[in-house]
């Protein structure tokens, strides 16, 4: 035991733990492969950290829709909103003020006004959705209608209620 502890550079308690593990006949599923010699048991289980393809596609659709709607905004407003909401890095108002050469408060005002313009523009282009939502709400008293579209006034999102 002393030779093992010295060679492995571990303490007595760690060596005892290793010995107990060897005695328990524990077998890892990864040690077994299927007949093809390449597939492992872990290949049968879904990766919980993987992106849901439908959610990724929906997210890209919404993002593309927002980018199209933003084309009608003034250039600086569009640039600020893109920087704040569509870039991978989330800049602070201070960061934006340095880029655009205006105060943090002015950046906030431009972004808020841009969001308001976008919201109004999107509402007008989605008027027919409101009619569907009103119909679905009135129909829900007699039938279940869970797949209604909504456009909340306080958010820039489109989703399923």
Q: Tens of pLDDT along 84-112?
A: 888 888 899 999 999 999 999 999 999 99
Q: Which residues of the chain have a pLDDT value below 50?
A: 135-136, 138-161
Of 59, 60, 158, 159, give the one whose Cα is nearest residue 118. Answer: 158
Say what the pLDDT of residue 98 is.
95
The domain of 14 spans 2-44
Say what the pLDDT of residue 148 is.
32
Q: Are residues 90 and 106 in the same domain?
A: yes
Q: Are residues 133 and 104 in the same domain?
A: no
Q: Are residues 107 and 91 in the same domain?
A: yes
Q: Are residues 135 and 121 in the same domain?
A: no
Domain count along the chain? 3
Q: Are residues 133 and 152 in the same domain?
A: yes
Say what the pLDDT of residue 127 is.
66
Say what the pLDDT of residue 150 is.
38
Cα–Cα distance measured from residue 80 to residue 31, given in angstroms and rounded to the nearest whole number:
53
In whole angstroms, how far apart are CA 1 and each of 13, 79, 146, 152?
A: 11, 68, 67, 69
Q: What is the CATH number of the domain that holds 112?
A: 1.10.10.10
Cα–Cα distance measured from residue 33 to residue 117, given in angstroms and rounded to the nearest whole number:
58
Say what the pLDDT of residue 32 is.
61
Cα–Cα distance measured from residue 58 to residue 105, given in angstroms and rounded to the nearest whole number:
33
Say what the pLDDT of residue 73 is.
92
């Amino acid at each position: 035991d002393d030779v093992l502890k010295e060679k492995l550079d571990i303490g007595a308690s760690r060596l005892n733990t290793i010995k107990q593990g060897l005695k328990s006949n524990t077998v890892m599923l990864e040690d077994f492969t299927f007949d093809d010699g390449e597939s492992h048991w872990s290949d049968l289980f879904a990766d919980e950290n993987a992106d849901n393809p439908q959610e990724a596609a929906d997210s890209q659709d919404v993002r593309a829709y927002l980018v199209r709607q933003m084309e009608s905004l003034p250039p600086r407003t569009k640039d600020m909103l893109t920087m704040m909401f569509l870039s991978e890095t989330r800049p602070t108002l201070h960061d934006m003020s340095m880029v655009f050469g205006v105060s943090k408060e002015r950046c906030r005002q431009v972004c808020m006004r841009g969001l308001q313009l976008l919201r109004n523009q999107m509402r007008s282009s989605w008027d027919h959705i409101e009619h569907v939502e009103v119909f679905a709400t009135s129909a829900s008293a007699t039938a279940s209608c869970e797949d209604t579209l909504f456009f909340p006034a306080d958010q820039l999102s489109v989703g399923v209620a």
